[in-house]
Amino acid sequence: MKLLIIPTLNEKKNISKLYNGIKKNNILLDILFIDDNSSDGTRSEILKLKSKDKKINYIFRPKKMGIGSAHKNGLKYAYKNKYNIILTMDADGTHDPKYIKDLLKFSNKFDLVSTNRFFNKNSLMEWPIQRRFLTKIRYYLINFLLNINYDSSGAYRCYNADRIKLKHILLANNNGYSFFWESLYLLNKKKYLIKEIPVYLPYRKVGSSKMTFKDIFGSLGYLLKYSFKNFFN
């Protein structure tokens, strides 16, 4: 069984378009929305979709608890309900559902299949120059400090739950954006097989990014402390 996990926070204008894009793939999978108390009507949109599609489920959380926390919540749900393949993606319209087939194509041979925004040199060309600069700096800094070679901060992934133990993913302590690089780093350290596929990542056209400068600098601080700690372990 396959499950697609989609965390949401004020993505009302993107939900239906994303859902329609997913359905165009004609892939048999369930969808789990995890909403952090959106104030824009996102939950109403999810309930509308649920009324039309029995393969949709949701977890409505009482407050904003962090993107990493939402992914952990969804992964626990997936393992508890015996899903073999678990996909995760953003709800903001930047993760094109057409790549789901590419992720699944390698899911039997690899433990984790993730997307890489830097294989395609034009991938981030729509992004504002400051966001593009910060994203690339983060990419190189993570790889240098953790001695890895992945685009590890992205959420568009596919986990093979028959191969990966949930407890190894949950070793990642961070509940925010750093969950992504921390979990990939730990899975790589556990010698799981990781495959990356190239994607084009447009800048979001509707709504606004939930990542603030506080998140960016908080993530940087966490990375520096984390790498320093691991250097001496």
Above 80 in pLDDT, residue 66? yes
For residue 48, what is the domain's CATH number?
3.90.550.10
For residues 74-91, average pLDDT: 98
Across 58-62, 94-98, 208-212, least confident range: 208-212
Across 106-120, 175-189, 214-228, least confident range: 214-228
Phi then psi for residue 130, to 5 deg, are -70, -35
Identify the band that residue 207 occupies on the pLDDT scale cut at 50, 70 and 90. low
pLDDT in tens, 107-162: 999 999 999 998 887 777 777 787 788 888 888 999 999 999 999 999 999 999 99
Distance CA(63)–CA(31), nearest Å, equals 21
Q: Report helix, strand or coil for 195.
A: strand
Q: What average pLDDT is seen over the chain?
A: 91
Secondary structure (DSSP) of 12-62? HHHHHHHHHHHHTT----EEEEEEE--SSSHHHHHHHHHHH-TTEEEEEES
For residues 25-39, average pLDDT: 95
Identify the band that residue 218 occupies on the pLDDT scale cut at 50, 70 and 90. confident
Domain that residue 83 falls in: 2-231
Number of domains in the chain: 1
At residue 204, the pLDDT reads 66
Above 80 in pLDDT, residue 205? no
What is the DSSP secondary structure assignment for residue 203, as one 8-state letter? P
What's the count of helices (H) and strands (E) in the chain, helices before strands? 8, 7
